[in-house]
Structure 1
């Protein structure tokens, strides 16, 4: 899992008072490069214009570079493993919750009866609202018709 040349980490993300100012007069931020060419090498970055200046004047030795690249790969692998474990944990938690629901104290028939009662109550309430709507609509129609007839007779 190789990272691109522009890969970076913001381990040092504080504004640097010792770092150079960008040509836009903004302070720079000290960052760490994790590219294949410069792993672990620190540099100053302007948030608006990107790379500005290396903090570490020398490149890492070959063994240091190899160690940093191996550490980067190990971190990426462990990050993926952590994501997979979190997903498995969420799935196991869901299965446990479903198991707890299915083994609850009330039986399936009691649960179904409770659901049926809730649905029946909702249907009855909906029918009441519909009857009121029809009643008011009919009254409004009769009133509108009476007014229309009254004004047409004049």
Structure 2
């Protein structure tokens, strides 16, 4: 059973065989979404569009009706998804704009506390780094002094 909607699948050229347009360019296998030929596969040229039908029979009867109903259902679902995305984003921005002042202040206070704790932690790290540098230089000086003393003996 073929369920690919495009000819970019490497298996599609093996199943249907390679086909070139009259202009000599390679074609891709795609699926028609028109009401006259729903779901019917055809070869499409990048430059000229339709090149040749891949299947011999036109869809008819219950298959055609089923495909058209599925196409209409997908269209309705896409539109409702768009509407939900738009209404959801406007509702979020509306809530942010109309938040009471108390909630805004609470959020600012929490953010300030987080920033203060981060600054304190950074200051502690800087203090420890300075101590490490001082100790390492002190150790370096002691080692050099010991080498010089030993060299004199």
Give the TM-score band, short-chain normalised: 0.5 to 0.7
Q: TM-score, normalised by structure 2?
A: 0.57
CA RMSD across the alignment: 2.1
Question: Equivalent residues in 2 for 1:1-154 (5 A)?
Answer: 11-14=5-8, 17=13, 18-100=17-99, 102=101, 103-105=103-105
Q: Which has the higher contact order (CA 8 A, sep 6+)?
A: 1
TM-score, with structure 1 as normaliser? 0.57
- Deviation at residue 19 of structure 1 after TM alignment: 3.0
- Stretches of structure 1 lacking an aligned partner (at least 5 in a row): 1-9, 107-154
User: Deviation of residue 105 (structure 1)?
Assistant: 1.3
Q: Which runs of 4+ in 1 moved over 4 A?
A: none
**Distance 1:14-1:101 versus aligned 2 partners, 3 A rule:** farther
Deviation at 1:101, TM superposition (A): 6.7
Q: From the two aligned structures, give the one with the greater helix fraction.
A: 2
Partner SS, residue 78 of structure 1 = helix
